[in-house]
Structure 1
């Protein structure tokens, strides 16, 4: 018996513009959360800020209540705020942030039913050089993966570029393989998966209208993970710190359009020799 291939949702220009509106609000809220994060502020306070900005923007959280239909407890917040050894899906806590914490904020919302999803990592107060380098290596890997996408290519081109970028760093980092990027559009999570490890030329073909969330999760130690009793929080088994960066990117007839980057990804894509391809307003 043959297995049916997953149906991949392709977006028309009008739908991409709606996703751009969502992506711009995601970028705005993440910037505000980062600005508000300082020693003494708790993740739950940052989550409340994000929730208020979602309401002010006329949007709907992609995260709040997610998971109930997948055998998981409904997610209780609008952000995932992962601190230090938490890799992803950290439930915002009451414990205040302290100087030197490495914080990853994963955040998504929808406007008119079209989703944007992005994640950033940053330090609170003064960050150690080791932790700063981890975040920058993860950010670079994300952009390398995005820049490897092109119509006619394959998902594996993105995966291989992410892996190659991480492996080229002077420090030996762990690449988390259990959690991947994904398709996105009228739902937050759609096919295809976008792994952070892989071989170029493999996987689904990339075509016009595809939208993908590229999101490497990298650790200072082992990539092995564990899930806490809340069934959401994913931590490193060896206690090492982790970083997580993510953007939503669309493949247009003109090139690549990073929907959750304020400049559409122009600076980073151009620096990597990739074709910047936004749609006209």
Structure 2
């Protein structure tokens, strides 16, 4: 069921969004060549434990698209992994493309966001192009996330940007409603038909999350951890996400990182 938030509830959601944005900004600054994925996970754990009213949305999360409860505080997807990456004992290498996806509840309200970047001094231009595509798709989708437009306008905007770059689009996973829970209605696909679907209304809070793989739309679940989603052809992936609120005017980016 789609739930609309009151202006007061959206105001209350800002704390979670700001907290998630702050952590991701800190992680991007501190994540270098040699950083271990478990260090990233532990940093997030400590930040959550230090924050009054904060709880991880990931620890013990057990949806039907994973195998057993998730046991970590952040998703760390590296290179051919694009979603739901489980942190493990791996030191990042020069040129690795990493996506960090974080959802935290603060005082009962959730913020959900993701970033992708390359570590090291000599990133592959193709990796930077892929990341740029997800960021441009996210910005363009947020721009059309206005009362009176349709959910399909968001989805088609994301798809149009991906096609302009020549990247294939997977529709199995996408954006979603956000509120007291991390994954709610409506589902926000990364492609669709403009002027179709649910009419956007003030009070709707959603996560928009374009993610693309360089040369395929086929993914598989890594059997080693039962969670990490990887490109079927081994190509690299990138992922950008913000939680936003629809208003009577401009959309509010609750997870802004500036």
* TM-score, normalising length: structure 1: 0.88
Contact 1:145–1:159 (CA<8 Å) still a contact in 2? yes
Residue number among 109, 128, 133 corresponding to 1:114 in the alignment:
109
2:208 equivalent to 1:214: yes
Once the two structures are superposed, the pairs formed by residues 1-281 of structure 1 within 5 Å of their partners are 7-58=1-52, 59-67=54-62, 72-126=67-121, 127-169=123-165, 172-229=166-223, 230-262=225-257
Cα distance, 1:176 vs. partner? 2.1
Distance 1:72 1:234 in 2: 12
Contact 1:18–1:111 (CA<8 Å) still a contact in 2? no
* TM-score, normalising length: structure 2: 0.95
Q: Runs ≥4 in structure 1, deviation > 2 angstroms?
A: 68-72
Distance 2:61 2:49 in 1: 18
Residues 242-273 of structure 1 show CA distances to partners (whole Å, capped at 9, x for unaligned) of: 0000000101123210000145xxxxxxxxxx
Higher relative contact order (CA 8 A, sep 6+): 2
The count of aligned residue pairs is: 255
Unaligned runs of 5+ residues in structure 1 are 1-6, 264-281
Structure 1 residues 68 and 221: alpha-carbon distance in aligned structure 2, compared to 1, 3 A threshold: closer
Distance 2:240 2:230 in 1: 16
